[in-house]
Chains A and B, each alone.
Chain A
């Protein structure tokens, strides 16, 4: 029986971000989604729980905007959710998120295995998992593409630039997972309906020792623009010749 904790974030869906007239990002129309790789994290938690037996608890830090995200996460299988919820818990930096998670997980949950996505699809700072492991003082294995538990040891394959490393660490441990570790399910209708009935424990700021001060200060956010010619050619021999001529003119051929 394993107590598995999986952390997720409810993020702005970058597909809906528009660029304003003066290169500012227009988030007014943005919709939210469960961060892509957190879907893999939840799926992996469910997979391990299926094999090893155990319970899965999903934990998130956010403001009340994230209630939908909690249902989304629960519809993917976890038994219950912990919602570290305060209006102040938006736009946190990774160190703050990690410290809130650490306090709640340490004080309220039994855990053998913590699974996080390798990074969130909004900030993609890839810090929360490793920072959380440090704060809890447990072994950390990041960027895992294959995961097994054997005799209370994590056996993980991680893909590094120079090859694959198979590593092991004793439980309790934290892993962050890569997207190719599994294919997250698309929740069925009953999964979504059932999610509303699962237990969600909400923990407010007043129940915590206080939020860590930010280290970072964002001084600006602007749109990343690219100016390109955007010229299209036909797929016939003539069009391809024009295309090749354009490359020759640019001086990037031969």
Chain B
């Protein structure tokens, strides 16, 4: 029986997938099924958020990674033959999706930015970015299930209503060969930049880590959060990875984005495409970021930032 499945590694992401999942399920008149790793108590909430059925994956022992669930999900997939299977595009989600797709021998569209049902064919039309964000590719999948990963916060979370549905427990998973030796959780609450209204984003134009103080002041004046480019997070390690914006980082949708000392390579710009207003401070008037910006200041950030902060403080203090 045709169905739409959703799987995410935590509650918030599942609720987002339930929203788009419900929408698609209604369009193809299918049932919506959500996976629930671990904690059975959440089942009703998922049902209230749109699921017709919740499949509970028994909790794993602590040294196991989520990939232990693969055999159980694949067995269930072979039995139930879902039509559409959406996974949250977290790192674990992306690995899981690719491996499940391989076992089910089906296609997977990675990090979809839009999903629609083609009215004529009933196929799921998936859009994604290619060439570092320079192109948009539209694909359909000829085999079943039609699988896609979706970056967190691409869709709004579902609203809770009173609904009814089934909760079913899946069998326990066999142990995976991959074992966790150690977890080093992040100290900082993740995801704040994806919700920020204002983002000040820093790039390699900053000379030293201490100089982030300048950016902090600007962020304080605008009530914004600080994001960064990939080199700042991954090469220099001046900022946590979860503040990296772009193709391989976060997708953000602030009202205002100000990029400071950022060249504006396509892989970064892709992450700010949906910002309402994009601004840039860069001393190279030919930096590509000016092509992608509404307003730019051509100048040395070390001179521009203090003055900009001063002027903005005057306004916000009023």
Contacts and interface: CB of A to CB of B under 8 A. Distances in A.
A166 B111 CA distance: 25
Contact size class for A? Answer: 35 or more
The main secondary structure of chain A at its interface with chain B is mixed
B163 interface: no
A250 B197 CA distance: 14
Contacts of A220: 136-138
Contact of A165 (B107, B111, B129, B180): B180
A107 interface: no
A167 B140 contact: no
Given A169-B178, A216-B139, A247 B279 contact: yes
A247 B258 CA distance: 11
Contact of B184 (A94, A163, A247): A163
Contact of B136 (A14, A121, A221, A229): A221
B73 interface: no
A215 B190 contact: no
Given A94-B98, A134-B103, A240-B308, A167 B179 contact: yes
Nearest to B297: A233
A125 B295 contact: no
Interface in A97-134: 98, 118-119, 121-127, 129-131, 133-134
Contacts of B90: 160-161
A232 interface: yes
A164 to B, nearest CB: 4
A166 B135 contact: no
Tell me the interface secondary structure of chain B in the complex: mixed
B312 A253 contact: yes
Interface stretch (A64-72, A81-89, A135-143): A135-143
Contact of B138 (A131, A219, A244, A254): A219
Q: Which of B130, B255, B294 has the most CB of A within 10 A?
A: B130
Interface string A212-224: 0011111111111
A190 to B, nearest CB: 28
B316 interface: yes
A243 B308 CA distance: 9
Nearest to A169: B178
B50 to A, nearest CB: 24
Contact of B180 (A125, A166, A179): A166
A5 B232 CA distance: 31
A235 B304 contact: yes
A125 B147 CA distance: 13
B101 A140 contact: no
A189 interface: no
B138 A218 contact: yes
B133 interface: yes
Nearest to B300: A235
Interface of A: 12, 14, 17, 19, 25, 93-95, 98, 118-119, 121-127, 129-131, 133-135, 139-143, 155, 158-170, 173, 178-180, 214-224, 226, 228-235, 237, 239-241, 243-244, 246-248, 250, 252-254
19 contacts: A14-B132, A129-B98, A131-B101, A131-B102, A140-B178, A161-B242, A164-B184, A218-B137, A219-B140, A221-B137, A223-B135, A228-B292, A230-B294, A231-B295, A235-B304, A237-B311, A240-B311, A247-B256, A253-B256
10 tightest A-B contacts by CB? A235-B299, A215-B107, A134-B102, A130-B98, A163-B185, A180-B234, A131-B102, A252-B256, A127-B98, A142-B95
Given A140-B67, A252-B277, 16 more contacts: A139-B176, A140-B95, A142-B91, A160-B92, A162-B190, A163-B186, A166-B181, A216-B139, A220-B137, A224-B129, A229-B293, A229-B295, A231-B296, A250-B256, A250-B277, A252-B198
